[in-house]
């Protein structure tokens, strides 16, 4: 079967700390801490957990000066770029920049006068960091809502470009654009429109998607379509829950589209009447084994199948797999059976073979 590759649209390369986005760089995965930023110990602990899960860039809320000043201590304990999320108070943006923020997310329109925006731009220039302008469908300017008769893709795009203009007027072009809505189809159309109007890198996401199960699906549909069209340079899956789930979902989206190389990919069959093993429990245990492994090498495919008759054949391209039977199971590599063991010994035997792959 021939390789099918997504042709990504060209965008300006931007450096966020030690991570580059845009250009020909891989799509970066982002998440956001739900700790109190000023609680340095808790925030660092969560970021380290997110790093292990595969997060490339992390964002923290900065609602007050204590949070902005905490950035300097947080930076000492982490290894990925740290982004400050700012609303309304331009002084918080400047303080976060001085304390080591690798990027600041702002809306120029909600931090006040042009002079205040200019102060933030001057700080960003001095420290050599980008600014991300973010537009959200839930907070669109009233004049644009009136102009377009509601929140529309066109209104979102005009709002985003207006924010970009507010920075460009000060000869600043170290910019990332975010344009989000909780409406999947609106988000897709808005990204299609803005990708034709700007060369700045785009931060892609569907906002306010809900809980992990439904939100992951909604995000996969919206972000997946946008990425398939070649649009986007960094993504965040926004979920109500542990942010580690955001990273896991983002990795799955990128892997499914062939946009993330390296790592361990688990496939498992649905249960049916032929299944004579606790396939759901077994697949969960195998996933737990995989989650414990830190691996960034070439792609590895792991299969958990419920039927010993068809399992090895259906997953013949798997690097390692299990096929369950009645009280026993098969372990196979590339469709070839290498072991037949009792069900009670299946997981330990599989783990032994899994570790041989690294």
How many Cβ atoms from other residues are within 10 Å of residue 52's Cβ? 12
**Which domains does the chain possess?**
14-256 (3.20.20.20), 263-355 (3.30.413.10)
SS3 110: helix
Asked if pLDDT for residue 94 goes beyond 70, the answer is yes
**Chain segment 152-171, per-residue pLDDT in tens:** 999 999 999 999 999 999 99
Decide which of 22 and 354 is more confident: 22
Decide which of 98 and 335 is more confident: 98
pLDDT at 316: 77
pLDDT at 258: 86
Instruction: Convert 276-288 to b/e letters by CB count within 10 Å (16 or more is b).
Output: bbebeebbebbee
Asked if pLDDT for residue 2 goes beyond 50, the answer is no
pLDDT at 109: 75
On whether the CB atoms of residues 82 and 102 are closer than 8 A, the answer is: yes
Looking at the chain, the whole-number percentage of residues with pLDDT higher than 90 is 57
SS3 107: coil
pLDDT band at 310 (very low <50, low <70, confident <90, very high): low
Q: How far apart are CA 234 and CA 131, in angstroms?
A: 14
pLDDT band at 274 (very low <50, low <70, confident <90, very high): low
Residue 39 CA: distances (Å) to CA of 31, 76, 85: 18, 14, 16
Mean pLDDT of the chain: 89
Asked if pLDDT for residue 1 goes beyond 80, the answer is no
**Chain segment 116-145, per-residue pLDDT in tens:** 999 999 999 999 999 999 888 877 888 898
Q: Which helix (H) or strand (E) holds 271?
A: none
pLDDT at 309: 61
Q: Judging by beta carbons within 10 Å of its beta carbon (0-12, 13-18, 19+), is residue 14 exposed, middle or buried?
A: buried
Asked if pLDDT for residue 289 goes beyond 90, the answer is no
pTM: predicted TM-score of the whole model, two decimal places: 0.86
pLDDT at 190: 96
């Amino acid at each position: 079967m021939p390789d099918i590759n997504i042709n990504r649209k060209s965008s300006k390369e931007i450096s966020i700390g030690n991570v580059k986005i845009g250009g020909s760089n891989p799509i970066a995965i982002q998440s956001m801490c739900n700790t109190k930023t000023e609680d340095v110990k808790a925030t660092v602990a969560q970021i380290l957990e997110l790093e292990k899960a595969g997060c490339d860039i992390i964002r923290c809320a900065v609602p007050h000066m204590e949070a902005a000043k905490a950035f300097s201590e947080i930076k000492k304990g982490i290894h990925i770029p740290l982004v400050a999320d700012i609303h309304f108070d331009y002084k918080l943006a400047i303080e976060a920049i001085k304390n080591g923020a690798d990027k600041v997310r702002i809306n120029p329109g909600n931090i006040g006068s042009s002079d205040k925006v200019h102060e933030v731009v001057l700080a960003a220039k001095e420290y050599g960091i980008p600014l991300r302008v973010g537009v959200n469908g839930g907070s669109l300017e009233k004049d644009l809502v009136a102009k377009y008769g509601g929140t529309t893709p066109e209104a979102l795009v005009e709002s985003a470009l207006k924010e970009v203009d507010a920075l460009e007027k000060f000869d600043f072009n170290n910019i990332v654009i975010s344009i989000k809505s909780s409406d999947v189809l609106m988000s897709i159309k808005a990204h299609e429109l803005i990708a034709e109007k700007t060369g700045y890198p785009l931060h892609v996401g569907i906002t306010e998607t809900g809980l992990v199960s439904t939100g992951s699906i909604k995000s996969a549909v919206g972000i997946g379509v946008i990425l398939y069209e070649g649009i986007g340079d960094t993504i965040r899956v926004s979920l109500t829950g542990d942010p580690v789930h955001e990273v896991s979902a983002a990795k799955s989206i990128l892997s499914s589209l062939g946009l993330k190389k390296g790592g361990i990919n688990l496939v498992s069959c649905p249960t049916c009447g032929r299944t004579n093993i606790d396939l759901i429990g077994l697949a969960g245990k195998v996933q737990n084994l995989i989650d414990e492994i830190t691996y960034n090498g070439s792609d590895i495919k792991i299969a958990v199948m419920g039927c010993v008759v068809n399992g090895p054949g259906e997953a013949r391209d798997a690097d390692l797999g299990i096929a369950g039977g009645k009280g026993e199971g098969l372990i196979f590599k590339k469709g070839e059976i290498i072991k037949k063991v009792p069900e009670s010994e299946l997981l330990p035997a599989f783990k032994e073979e899994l570790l041989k792959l690294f």
